[in-house]
Amino acid sequence: MAADKKITITDVAAAAGVSVSTVSLVLSGKGRISAATGVRVNDAIEKLGFVRNRQAAALRGGHSGVIGLIVRDLNHPFYAQLTTGLTEALESRGYMLFLTQSGQQGQYMMRCFDTLLAQGVDGIVVAGAAGQGAELDQTARLRNVPLVYASRASYLDDVDMIRPDNTQAAHMLTGHLISKGHQRIAWLGGLSSSLTRAERLGGFCSTLIQHGLPFHPEWIIECGSSQCQASEAMINLLHHNPTISAVVCHNSTVAAGAWFGLLRAGRHSGERGLNSLYEQQIALAGFAEVPEAALDDLPLTWVTTPGRDVGRMAAMRLLQRVEDNTLEPRSHVLAAKLVTRSA
């Protein structure tokens, strides 16, 4: 039997010399089956490598009823939300999720991918950066396994991709601050290696240029995603650039740290116009990847593209692929929503 062929309940029945219904009864533990028959069926299962949790869907036509997910890091709010949305959408269609983690740098990506293929999943969602994207796509095509990428940024062409529109989100957020009269706007957070940051920063800079506002490299501050690091970076930014009136933060953690930094520096957070008398007030704005109801109750302006929505869209696209894996790949980009909070 070919190594890449999915083992079905029919294969098990043929190897054991029994009917498909008998194999089903052995797998479910229901009905009266002799001990000898049970041993024969179980021996065939082990010999062929049949995955037990596939029997119900296999009886309906060879599908396992299981979708694989490779996620970079479940501790990240975006991927936690994405997994929730994916699970909800799959369970509503009678599918189960097989979850694996590839590691922060994707170091376990191929191992996770091979594990899911060995389990006979009906399709795979890859969430997060995938340096091995081309290799994954080639393997999936050879095995005829549907593959969808759900990401925070765009990093592959000619594949099924579900992602937020980071450039549009940054344009919306920066444009809102400019509409409130801000002309000296800084950027805080993220690492230069982040493609998500690059897309957001590109939208930020292009919006400033579009409005004829100054862009200063020293106003673009790189820092890790911890509240402590963001707080210190915010204090240093304001110390060296005291005339800045607004700061765009790379994510919600950086935004919270920036807010604490403002308090430590004796400043306040909130929007102000050009004629404001409150010169100590700094407007903070940030990107969030959680639903509006889950946002911290801080006086910030947010743009949000919930990871849960990305997960739901990825599930729907993958299930379309399960039904017809000859569909042309497409990229679906989710627009952001502006959420304002007053001090």
For the chain, the average pLDDT equals 85
* Residue in the block written with tokens 């001090």: 343
- The reported pLDDT for the residue numbered 84 is 94
Residue 15's alpha-carbon distances to 11, 21, 26, 226, in angstroms, are: 6, 14, 14, 56
- The reported pLDDT for the residue numbered 244 is 93
- The reported pLDDT for the residue numbered 170 is 97
> Is 16 within 8 Å of 23 (Cβ atoms)?
yes
Structure tokens, 30 = 């229901």
Confidence of residue 214 (pLDDT cuts 50, 70, 90): confident
**Rounded distance, CA 127 to CA 263, Å?**
36
Q: Shortest CA distance to 23 belongs to which of 66, 49, 52?
A: 52
Structure tokens, 32 = 């009266």
State yes or no: pLDDT of 180 exceeds 50. yes
> What is the second-level CATH architecture of the domain 166-304?
3-Layer(aba) Sandwich (3.40)
State yes or no: pLDDT of 4 exceeds 60. no
User: Could you confirm whether domain 9-59 is CATH 1.10.260?
Assistant: yes
- The reported pLDDT for the residue numbered 47 is 85
Q: Shortest CA distance to 83 belongs to which of 337, 322, 309, 341?
A: 309
Residue 308's alpha-carbon distances to 59, 293, 303, 319, in angstroms, are: 31, 13, 15, 17
Instruction: Show me where the domains of the chain are located.
Output: 9-59, 66-163+307-334, 166-304
- The reported pLDDT for the residue numbered 95 is 87
* Residue in the block written with tokens 């004796």: 266
**Rounded distance, CA 55 to CA 61, Å?**
10
- Give residue-wise pLDDT tens across range 51-108: 655 444 444 445 778 899 999 888 888 899 999 999 999 998 888 899 999 887 778 8
Is residue 246 packed enough to be buried (19+ CB in 10 Å), middle (13-18) or exposed (0-12)? buried
Which one has a higher pLDDT value, 72 or 198? Answer: 198
What number is the average pLDDT over the span 128-151? 84
- The reported pLDDT for the residue numbered 258 is 95
End-to-end CA distance of the chain: 67
Q: What is the CA radius of gyration of the chain?
A: 25
- The reported pLDDT for the residue numbered 158 is 85
- The reported pLDDT for the residue numbered 274 is 41
What number is the average pLDDT over the span 318-337? 92
Same fold, 9-59 and 166-304: no
State yes or no: pLDDT of 137 exceeds 90. no
State yes or no: pLDDT of 203 exceeds 70. yes
- Give residue-wise pLDDT tens across range 52-68: 554 444 444 457 788 99
Burial track 176-198 (b if 16+ CB lie within 10 A, e otherwise): bbbebebbebbbbbbeeebebbe
pTM of the shown model = 0.77
What is the secondary structure of 49-82 as a DSSP string?
T--GGGHHHHHTTS--SEEEEEES-TTSHHHHHH
Relative to beta strand 337-340, strand 301-304 is antiparallel
Q: Shortest CA distance to 95 belongs to which of 125, 127, 135?
A: 125
Helix (H) or strand (E) holding 176: helix 166-179
What number is the average pLDDT over the span 264-290? 69
Find the angle CA(38)-CA(40)-CA(42) to the nearest 5 degrees.
70
**Rounded distance, CA 37 to CA 78, Å?**
49
Cβ neighbors of 292 (< 8 A, separation 6 or more) are 302, 304, 337, 339
What is the CB neighbour count within 10 angstroms for residue 222?
15
The CATH superfamily holding the domain 66-163+307-334 is Response regulator (3.40.50.2300)
What is the torsional sign of CA 81, 84, 90, 92?
negative
State yes or no: pLDDT of 28 exceeds 70. no
128-132, 133-137, 217-221, 256-260: which range is least confident on average?
128-132
75-84, 229-238, 277-286, 288-297: which range is least confident on average?
277-286
Q: Shortest CA distance to 182 belongs to which of 136, 247, 257, 263?
A: 247
What number is the average pLDDT over the span 24-48? 77
Tell me which range, 57-71, 274-288, 324-338, is most confidently predicted by mean pLDDT: 324-338
32-36, 146-150, 232-236: which range is least confident on average?
32-36
* Residue in the block written with tokens 């240093």: 236
